[in-house]
Amino acid sequence: MLLPVLDIYTAFGMVALSAWTLLGVLWLLGRRFWAQGVPYVMAAAFCFGVAYWLFAIQKSLPPAWAMTGAHLCISVAIALLAIGYQRFRGQQWSLTDAITLGLPLLLLFAGMVAAPSDMSLQVRLRGVLFIGQLLWQLHVLLRATRGSASLGWKLVVAGLLVQILALMPLVIYGERQFVPAANMGIKLLLPWMMSMVMFLNLQITAYGYLRMLQDRQHEAERKAAGLDGLTQLPSRRTLMEHVPTAMALAEKEGSSLGLLVLDIDHFKKVNDRYGHVAGDAVIQHVAWVLRNQIREQDFPARYGGEEFVVLLPQATSDIVYSTAQRIAHAVHAEVVAHDDERIRVSVSLGAHLQKVHAGLCWEEMLAVADAALYEAKNTGRDRVVLSAAARAQVMASPSPAAGTTSQQCRNG
């Protein structure tokens, strides 16, 4: 049975046209994400198009020139994609990017100098180089994801792995896979199939990258919707969504969960004397202090009005006490400038530390911390009051500070 004649050059041309078509798609759908690597991905698509266009017209050019030019373009395209993913990660241009782009080109030229007449060996070496570049691309992508990977990220990684597999014949067969066989038979199935794989891979990679950008935007919008508009801290609703996760993790780890409840002292008087705009400035000041005085894993939230809550996972008595004291001291130490006024602010804090166990309710923890807060308010304000449980653990702590800690700790 005779196999149909397969026009490999047409296949190469289809891949080139596909790559150039993607330029317009990336421009239309990705231009609002310009700073996240879109120009580099567009440049990579253009280089892929040029590479396969050179493959398509190789009968009109000296074969060595066409092959070398195409491989140079492919190397540049792979490097540009890696740099684009670095921009997606938020990394600025660095020496690493220069090496990513320049080192493969130097290695390609070194191979040409080392074996100028052995095209098959050069093609094999270039295949190895391309696979190395793709592995670096994979490394960048693995660093680009945090937590669970998005669908777009998975598509890009899948396309990258397919591309690595598609390059294996380049390493195994060398130049022969791109040179049509005399009978145009079964030997052309491999390059034809590779061209189709590349054609589909370009579509998948472009779609996956655009999906990565959109997934990131949706995640940012979701987080923004869960933030308090005035302070940009998580809202009460977001806090309540986070609490079950924090408590379940603490129970699983067998760790304690710290809780701070704080309230701005005499806030109504601030509003009455200086106006609500000044009151907003005071709330923003306290929120700024919270962000700067807690640990990275702690979860601050605006609970409502002038009241704030901080969850402290994996907490100890010393961590709860020292964090509360830092917050109280930092708020008290600075004044809030508003117009020509300088407003002195203080906060009262109730602190609690609880070993999380099955059946423990958030409302129980909050009630204990609230009781400590009310005690701080009723005994002079501008102070930290520890719950009985937290106080007992602080007094039992071997740290030097524990021996001088009392239930009520005033600042100033």
Residue showing tokens 């095209």: 119
CB atoms closer than 10 angstroms to residue 195: 24
49 close to 16: Cβ distance less than 8 angstroms: yes
Q: In degrees rounded to 5, what are phi and psi of residue 3?
A: -85, 145
Determine the 3-state secondary structure of 257 from DSSP: strand
Tell me the residue type at 7.
Answer: D
CA of 89: how far to CAs of 36, 78, 100, 279, in Å?
A: 8, 17, 16, 38
Cβ-count burial 154-182 (b if 16+ within 10 Å, e if not): ebbbebbebbbebbebbbebbbebbbbee
Strands 307-315 and 299-304: antiparallel
Residue showing tokens 């239309």: 28
Residue showing tokens 């098959």: 120
364 close to 254: Cβ distance less than 8 angstroms: no
Residue ranges of alpha helices (H) inside 31-94 are: 38-56, 63-88
Which residues belong to the active site?
A: 306
180 Cβ partners below 8 Å, 6+ apart? 8, 187, 188
Angle at CA 135, nearest 5°, toward 65 and 141? 120
